[in-house]
Amino acid sequence: MNKMQRFAHKNELQTLGTEMEGYLKELDYGA
């Protein structure tokens, strides 16, 4: 895997983590 692919993959994981945080916060507000 070259550097750009690795960077893109890391970026995707960070985006996914941010989306999960937002989702969990929404669940907290809904409870």
Q: Which pLDDT score is estimated for 4?
A: 87
DSSP letters, 1-31, are --HHHHHHHHHHHHHHHHHHHHHHHHHHHH-
Residue 1 pLDDT: 64
Structure-token match 């916060």, residue found: 25
Q: Which of 7, 5, 26 is closest to 18 using CA atoms? A: 26
pLDDT at 31 (0 to 100): 60
Query: What integer pLDDT is reported at residue 15 of this predicted model?
Result: 95
Segment 1-31, tens digit of pLDDT: 688 898 888 999 999 999 999 999 998 887 6
